Amino acid sequence: MIMFGKLFGGSKEPKEKKILAWKNLTEVPQLDEIEKLSKGKTQVIFKHSTRCGISSMVMNQFIDAFDVDSNLDLYYLDLLNYREVSNETGYKFQVMHQSPQLLVIKNGVVVTHASHGAINEIDLTKFV
């Protein structure tokens, strides 16, 4: 595509990759901390399968659309490497496992969740 852009006068430079302040979710006890913190600040968990192209695409779209100034904590869960944490997330917050999946937690409960393309339809500003 870059070659064609150069041939036909396009000058699209690759856009700078946005970096989010992810907190890695790697241990089951973190779920109790997330529940507690959600009573004062919205907590968001992004469950990602590192071997799934759809999950990667959705995550990239989420990153591109995410408002960096949002007042919430954002957790990244690699569900392949931390399967026990992924399973416990579903039990604790009463949400059936899907991948990719986004959970928005406020006041100790999941106030909304989505999977696949529906993740990027959630307006997180409604929950901050």
Q: Check residue 69 and give its pLDDT.
A: 72
Q: Residue 26 is encoded by which pair of tokens?
A: 């790697």
Q: Give the helix/strand (H/E) hosting 7.
A: helix 2-7
Tens digit of pLDDT at every position of the chain (128 positions): 455 454 455 555 556 777 889 999 999 999 999 999 999 999 999 999 999 999 999 999 999 998 867 789 999 999 999 999 999 999 999 999 889 999 999 999 999 999 998 999 999 989 98
CATH of domain 22-127: 3.40.30.10
Residue boundaries of the structural domains of the chain: 22-127
